[in-house]
Amino acid sequence: MRGGLEPLESSDAQSCTFFRHPPAGLRAILVIDNTALGPAAGGIRTWRYPSSKDALVDAFALARAMSLKCALAGLDAGGGKMVVLDDTKLDRSPAFEWLGRRVEELGGSFRTAGDLGTHAEDLQAMARTTRYVHQDEGDLTGAVGETVHRSMEACAGLHGHGSLAGLSVAIQGCGNIGAAVAHRLAIAKVRLVFADSDEDKARHLAAKLGGECVPPDAILSAHVDILSPCAKGGVLDRTTAQRVSAWAVCGGANNILATDDVEDALRARQITFVPDVLSSSGAVIAGIARTVMNVPDVTPLLARVGDTATEVLKLARERNLRATAVALELASARIAAASPGTRRRSAPP
């Protein structure tokens, strides 16, 4: 990776570890961003990156987002992320078993679960060699659906709407996260518009929940109230942000904005952006609250995301700041105030 180490040199992350297991064709990166509040939490993303540097950049960004999610949610955990560089040489079952051993060797300082491109079978393979992997993807995606819903309610309230009923939402991505968001919005009587790179997925979800489908390249400009990106991150850059017709963006994807200044482009067009460290935080809340904090009912923690989103959006409006800057300020204050010597240490799950 010579010539591509800028993320390492510019980041404040605690550690970055490169893994290689040639017999299984495995190349992976683990970034531990911060553990001031507790063990690092973050899923495993398996993706065919254009380059090793792209994988490294993604790992650092996702790990940092996890630190912020945990801090904003009041969790006793920090942030981490593992990315697996997918290619034709990857022999998945032995690769993930081997990764599980490496996670187990960390003794619980990194807790993981699934993420984009990582299959249930991969998590099962890991679980054969580590205790520190959360396999129940259903409850995690459902939790993301809940925090997106709560964040949308906060956003709608800021715009003078008493509820989401009667509003329209465009969902980009109809996988597990998009479907979880759609199910909650359908119950809330929201008009839904779907798009996915796999158009059969979009049609299936539309047939099941009602709503309409549009081509993938038309979803960003759909004439709706709220745009909800629920697939891969970085979908909004300075160019695509100009295509957004909605008055708000609130999604279940991580790192929706390609760069920080994209939020300025949205603000210039009076489009509210709900930071995805809030809206997409449900999975980490549900996973960490149960396996690290031993909380039997995570419902209050999920519901509190709506209150935090309301606080962040109001402060951003009052102070004429990016909402992400306000969220970062609140999260950073909690991390800075943490005392590693006195924080509660949790038993393995």
**Which residues, other chains included, contact 11 with Cβ-Cβ below 8 Å and sequence gap of 6+?**
31, 60, 64
Query: 213: which strand partners?
Result: 194
Give SS3 for 161: coil
Outline where the chain has alpha helix (H). Answer: 6-10, 52-73, 92-105, 120-127, 137-158, 176-187, 199-209, 262-268, 276-279, 282-291, 299-319, 323-337
Q: Which residues are catalytic?
A: 81
Tokens of 194: 């779907």
Compute how many other C-beta atoms are within 10 angstroms of the C-beta atom of residue 127.
Answer: 16
With H, G, I as helix, E, B as strand and everything else as coil, classify residue 138.
helix
Within its chain, how far is the Cα of 50 from the centroid? 21
* Residue in 218, 219, 144, 135 with CA at minimum distance from that of residue 177: 144
67 in Cβ contact with 36 (< 8 Å) = no
228 forms beta bridges with 171
* Token digits of residue 142: 């459902």
Query: Pairing state of beta strands 78-85 and 44-47?
Result: parallel
Q: What is the torsional sign of CA 192, 193, 197, 201?
A: positive
CA distance 136 to 115: 12
CA distance 58 to 110: 18
